[in-house]
Amino acid sequence: MRTQVAIIGAGPSGLLLGQLLAKAGVDNIIIERQTGDYVLGRIRAGILEQVTVDLLDEVGVGARLHAEGTVHHAIELVFDATRHPIAIDELTGGKTVTAYGQTELTRDLMEARAAAGLTTIYSADEVSLHDFDGANPRVRYRKDDQEHEIACDFIAGCDGFHGVSRATVKDSITEYERVYPFGWLGVLSDTPPVSPHAIVYGNSPRGFSLCSMRSLTRSRYYVQCPMDDKVEDWSDQRFWDELRRRLDPELAERIVTGPSIEKSIAPLRSFVAEPMRFGRLFLAGDAAHIVPPTGAKGLNLAASDVKYLSTALIEHFQEKSAAGIDSYSARCLRRVWKAERFSWWLTSLMHKFPDDGGFGQKIQEAELDYLVHSRAMSTALAENYVGLPL
């Protein structure tokens, strides 16, 4: 087989890249080591910046998002048992974020790709990348007990932190990482969200909490917990009781509880790999960077990578220019580090750190008080939250 761009990974970033390229007439094949059902079974966040929504509209998959997603005009910060709204739309000239589950976004992209007759190879084992430092890259994989090879002009590594793309160039990468000394215990429940038009972030002496949503009938809640906690130690009742203790009394009273349909503990870390280009191989999304979920930047950063990469590749094929390809890594990393900074700052502001003690809690409360009473600082928060321009 031969194609112009071989895309490794059929998650949202790989699928979005495939749609952007196909729309411009650039042939591409996606290679995914898991099944399609497995990809759709991943439970992920779904707070979309306007830039991401615009990209989905650009490739023609935004209809269901606009029909079923929920636009958030504000976020709310809880500290000292009091809730403080931050009107992100007012502070950013009308910009908002949209709650729309990543699973549904992935489904929309998969269906659009299938309807267009574009090739996706699922259940590809032993994927390996070759000769990307020259003019004729190749991707090899094994499927149905047979060896296969795809010749291509470029390879896009959209296969996440544990994928083959980053592993292949690991010795040529400089890695920057910070691991946080706690995790998030998350619960998904078929209950109405406690705040249907705002995301609620809580800072309390007991630790961080977050109230978000997937739809008007499905909610996603989190509480900070030690990394050595076990999911089985957290009954549903214990979770709901702990969440209420970390919110203001009025909001705690409004929470509608129900059985969890998914419960897990996720570690938090910041990670960046530099550079993001290696000859004719490009890293995008989680293959190149990870942010703590506090700022809801992971999927949105992947989307901006894909926009930069698709523009560069289309420019190469249509205009015979290498300018976009040559600047890809630097352009991405400028935006990546700004998002890393924001996610680190919001994580540091809202969580209880084991060694900070009462002094650290008081410093956080002082900064939060300044944040909600300073329009300049509230605007900086809002600008970063809705997403910096491309």
Please give the pLDDT value at position 52: 95
Binned at pLDDT 50, 70 and 90, residue 43 comes out as low
- Compute CA 342 distance to the chain's CA centroid, rounded to the nearest angstrom: 14
Mean pLDDT of the chain: 95
Please give the pLDDT value at position 358: 83
Cis peptide preceding 267, ω within 30 of 0: no
The CATH classification number of 5-47+101-177+269-346 equals 3.50.50.60
Q: For 151-167, what is the mean pLDDT?
A: 97
Please give the pLDDT value at position 175: 97
Please give the pLDDT value at position 215: 83
What token pair was written down for 263? 């419960």
Residue 289 near residue 273 (C-beta atoms within 8 A)? yes
Give the span between the Cα atoms of 293 and 238, in whole angstroms: 23
Report domain extents, the chain: 5-47+101-177+269-346
Q: What is the pLDDT of residues 24-37, one digit of tens each?
A: 999 999 999 999 99
Please give the pLDDT value at position 189: 95
What token pair was written down for 308? 């930069």
Q: For 187-195, what is the mean pLDDT?
A: 93
What token pair was written down for 306? 């894909």
Give the span between the Cα atoms of 186 and 190, in whole angstroms: 14
Please give the pLDDT value at position 216: 86
Please give the pLDDT value at position 214: 82
Give the span between the Cα atoms of 5 and 17, in whole angstroms: 10
The residue to which tokens 């259940």 are assigned: 123
Instruction: Determine which of 14-28, 29-43, 87-101, 124-138 has the lowest per-residue pLDDT on average.
Output: 29-43
Positive or negative, the CA dihedral 86, 90, 96, 99 is: positive
pTM of the predicted protein model: 0.94
The residues annotated with a catalytic role in the active site are 72, 201, 293, 297, 385
Give the span between the Cα atoms of 281 and 283, in whole angstroms: 7
The residue to which tokens 């008080």 are assigned: 369
